[in-house]
Amino acid sequence: MNRFNPRKLRLSKWTACQPENREKHFLVTELICDEDGTPLQIDVQAVYSGRTQRLDWRELRDSRRWTIGWQ
């Protein structure tokens, strides 16, 4: 399990453990929060293609799918 502070996810770098379509490195471009400031979702952008996808921020805790930093 990856440990991190969800409020500091913006502009963090991540590596997919099982890359698809040559997209291995990702950058968190946006942190979506509710009215109370609780994180709900994130937008991650693939460095290779520039494609953006929205994920639940808790998915980054799965160390089988994501690694902190660019490896």
Question: How much is the pLDDT for 59?
Answer: 96
Over its length of 71 residues, how does the chain's per-residue pLDDT go in tens digits?
999 999 899 999 999 999 999 999 999 999 999 999 889 999 999 999 999 999 999 999 999 999 999 99
Whole-number Cα distances in Å, 45 to 14, 35, 37: 10, 24, 22
What single-letter amino acid sits at 9? L
Question: How much is the pLDDT for 29?
Answer: 97
Sign of the torsion formed by the C-alpha atoms of 47, 19, 33 and 6? negative
| CATH number for the segment(s) 6-68 | 2.40.10
Question: How much is the pLDDT for 50?
Answer: 97
27, containing H or E segment: strand 23-33
Question: How much is the pLDDT for 13?
Answer: 97
